[in-house]
Amino acid sequence: MALYRAMESERRDALFRDPYARPLAGPRGEAVFRAMPQARRWAWPMVVRTAVIDEILGRLVTAGGARTVLNLAAGLDARPFRLRLPPELRWLDVDLPAIQDGKRAALERERPRCALEWRAADLSDPAARRAVLAEVARGPAPALAVTEGLLIYLERDAVAALAADLLDCPAIEWWMLDLGSPRLLRLMERTWGRAVAAGGAPFRFAPAEGTAFFERLGWLEVEFRSTWEEGLRLGRTMPFARLWSALARLLPAERREEFRTMSGIVLLRRARPAGGAGR
């Protein structure tokens, strides 16, 4: 993903600039990219996802009142360094110790644009996850949780458990995530499925009910940004995308909606007032 951000940043018409992406990816990132089947084919949705999350996040921290960002499974994301953020914004970057160690070493000479805090934690461990959330609860509110590129690798029960823990943290008002449908999962299985499974992270989560999965867990959809539609808007699409969009108008409305929601960036908001959560 860092390499995709680097490739976009190096375009003359780049949607965003991430000068840290290529150093963070390093030779290992280059090797992973070369080994992934049809890697360039999948560049556009990753670039769109990054750009749309940047846009929504920026809006929430400047006009929406968010005072804390909790970036779970942050990977090699460098938003605290590259985005224009309020200096008083609290940003928690959470991931496995090995990932954080390498990332911090690569960025040690750089200065974040907000109040960045590093948290090494295995999010698959409920106790470790809740310890991080307890720290969020003691800090400035409201908070935005971000799980970019995470949920697709989790079982349904694990996603439900994460949703419950986030709801139980009274500071967290919003949750931003990316979501795919079963159709998208089948498509990705035919290209990257074997490679990611071999790496110990097979694709798993793509609920047929879409964001309704989260509604029963206390999280309501505020915004759904279709990756397809946003790709057309931003000029980052697959070949002949506009032709496919024109042909799609001939389909029944139900099928058009199925394709529109095949992949998207979602902003959720807690369904009940903060402080009313509980098991």
Specify the pLDDT at position 276. Answer: 42
Residues 134, 137: Cα–Cα separation, whole Å = 5
Residues 164, 167: Cα–Cα separation, whole Å = 5
- 154-195 pLDDT, tens digit each: 999 999 999 999 999 999 999 999 999 999 999 888 887 777
- Contact 78/1 with Cβ under 8 angstroms? no
Q: Is 119 helix (H, G, I), strand (E, B) or coil?
A: strand
Give 122's DSSP letter.
-
Q: Tell me, what amino acid is at 127?
A: A
Taking 50 as the pLDDT cut, the residues of the chain under it are 275-279
Specify the pLDDT at position 123. Answer: 95
- Contact 206/185 with Cβ under 8 angstroms? yes
